[in-house]
Chain A
Amino acid sequence: MTVDSTGEPLIVEGLSLALDIGGVQLNALRDVSFSLRPGEARGLVGESGSGKSLTLRAILGLLPPNARITSGRMVVAGQEFDLTRTDRDHRRRIARLRGAQIAMIFQEPGVALNPVVPVGRQIVDAVARRNGLTKRAAREYALHLMELVGIHDAAAKIDAYPFELSGGLKQRVMIAAAVAGEPQLILCDEPTTALDVTVQKQILSLFTHLRDELHASLLYVTHDLAVVAQLCDSVTVLYSGEVMESSDDLRAVFDGAQHPYTEALLHSTPDVDRIEQRLYSIPGSAASLSDRTDGCQFAPRCEYARDDCRTGSIPDTSGTPGRVVRCLHKVGAPADGVPVGGIDG
């Protein structure tokens, strides 16, 4: 696969999305932007409800019927998409990306597989149809993929139904199905959250292994910074549907978080080398969709917050290329100094 010749596997720019909840339009995502270089793994981090899954589903055109993209464009391997479009032609173009250019691994392996179809067939059904594989070739390929994702007795498992497999095995099946079409980009939606701690570790090392093997880029959604530390090159931090901090260089964030929310996240992750689920100990809780306000979404929980944080939209104050910090009073900035980059109104 020559990813370099086709440019960036994914650029998302200014993605905003509204949900219709009981006839009321609520903003679930606001001006979300990020991009991935070939072979890059980017962590998309945020608490539950921050809009991570919606972001991934917007990319693949798999949004729930009550969601509407109000702005945003996307570039996938040189192809431009106006994400606000809903016409047939646009839907066809997005559908053509699925599996072939971009694949997705879902959070709950227990419900994301068809309960009445053997797993082997689910791994290759889409790719066999696309590439016109014979039954026999498809089965061979399924066996190969199952071995690739670390299912040792693939021949014994290929005809099993999902309910006959453990959660970890089901997740491996889903990963096998996702890589079957040799996509350049794999979207991972908290692929280990539903699993036991030991199985989580195995699946994480499988991702590390697959990254090298397949040269695919990863957009890895998690609420766990420790996972990001192990797997990713870059990170985007989401809060209440908005990007708080983003960096092409992961270390820069881990060594010096500039956004108070990122700092709080890091503080609540005691040991970034330990991969484990834990609850954040940031005071307060994330705002629900209907509580989103003007100004900085994090203000109600921010210890640096001042009056000017509660009005207007918060600009990027990072001043460094490849870095975004949406905060008026960054961590480490002089207490009453003018924010780097300057703001006006």
Chain B
Amino acid sequence: MLRWFARRLLLAIPVVWGVVTISFFMMHLAPGDPARTALGEKASNASVAALRHQWGLDQSMPLQYLNYLKQLVHGDLGTSVYYHAPITSLMAQRLPVTIILVVLSAILTMLISVPLASRSATHPNGIAAVAVRLFNAVVQGAPTFFIGAMLILFLGVRIAIFPAGGYPADIGGRAWALVLPALTIALGTVPIMVRGLRAAMIESYGSEYVAFARSKGLPERPIRYGYVLRNAGISGVSILGIQVGALASGALVIEQVFAIPGMGSMLMTGILNRDYALVQACTLVFGLLVVVVYLGTDLAYARLDPRARLS
């Protein structure tokens, strides 16, 4: 188990390196000059050149790349020229918000999908099945930010049980403030999850092992939980693992809609202000997150499926 884990971590290194390299060159090859952006259109060419020298932007690209890698190896993400602050401390504030948002949306995805899939698997013409079909049609036709706006309108403004945006200082208020954005992100993944889970459950219900369980006299309830959901859950975990990328990118967009101070708004600011170090750091952290999530998925998979434990 430990060796398996170590091997997976080693395999992640080239992935992370690739993400770092691509983000570095994408930023540096894109048009625009961070020094010029920082000083404004009216600044003299001399002062811009001086700032470029101070930030090391006058060095050759390969040299800048090597310096950047050296810095990363030492655990230093650099300094944000926009925020005038070390990026590590910016991350410490922003990253937890986004992680909580993504985790919350993953939990909501499962809380909504499992009962819906389960009900529509056993009652293919029931209310749940019809609701799922309708819901799929709506969600697939509308982009996430639109659904977010609608949720703000109804739950945030009309009924006003949730805040329509912003991020209060107290913990309780923060948790409450994250529910609506998390729900918005989750709604984008629910249709995919419901479809996958329902198909897996229908297959399981028609399987020989369920017929044999019934022939032993096992009641439907333990068959549903111990046999059908237990087996369909394996598909559920892999779908969730794949969808975490979608959840994370959903978080980036939705943070803007709900004015949540997470990674998304920071990344946006960084891109608009040509803050190379900040954008690269954000990309790197996202890359790391995805690697961690895939590892977590594999661990969960191995817990659920004994056949996967061997390899």
Binding site for B on A (CB under 8 A): 57, 60, 62, 64, 95-96, 98-100, 103-104, 106, 108, 111-117, 122, 125-127, 129-130, 161, 163, 174, 177-178, 180-181
Contact = CB atoms under 8 A, between A and B. Distances in A.
Nearest to B230: A116
Given A114-B231, A163-B307, A98 B217 contact: yes
A135 to B, nearest CB: 14
Contact of A114 (B209, B215, B307): B209
Interface in B20-61: none
A106 B222 contact: no
Nearest to A117: B226
A21 B227 CA distance: 28
A117 B230 CA distance: 9
Given A117-B230, A129-B222, 16 more contacts: A60-B214, A62-B214, A95-B219, A99-B215, A103-B215, A106-B215, A112-B208, A112-B212, A113-B212, A114-B209, A114-B226, A115-B209, A116-B230, A116-B304, A129-B219, A181-B217
Contact of A180 (B216, B306, B307): B216
Interface in B274-311: 304-307
Majority secondary structure, B binding face: helix
A116 B208 CA distance: 14
B85 interface: no
B307 A161 contact: yes
A118 to B, nearest CB: 8
B216 A181 contact: yes
18 contacts: A60-B215, A62-B211, A62-B214, A98-B217, A106-B215, A108-B208, A112-B211, A115-B306, A116-B230, A116-B305, A117-B227, A122-B213, A126-B216, A127-B216, A163-B307, A178-B215, A181-B216, A181-B217
Contacts of B213: 114, 122, 125-126
Contacts of A163: 306-307
Top 7 nearest A-B pairs (CB, nearest first) are A99-B217, A126-B216, A98-B217, A126-B218, A104-B215, A112-B212, A161-B306
Contacts of A114: 209, 213, 226-227, 230-231
Contacts of B222: 125, 129
A112 B215 CA distance: 11
A62 B230 CA distance: 21
Interface residues of B, number: 23
B306 A116 contact: yes
A113 B209 contact: yes
B307 A115 contact: yes
B207 interface: yes
Contacts of A129: 218-219, 222
Nearest to A124: B216
B234 interface: yes
A297 to B, nearest CB: 27
Given A116-B304, A129-B222, A104 B217 contact: no
B232 to A, nearest CB: 11
Given A98-B217, A116-B304, A106 B226 contact: no
A341 B188 CA distance: 73
A106 B306 contact: no
A46 B304 CA distance: 41
Contacts of A104: 212, 215
Contacts of B226: 114, 117, 125
B208 A111 contact: yes
A96 to B, nearest CB: 8
B165 to A, nearest CB: 44
B207 A111 contact: yes
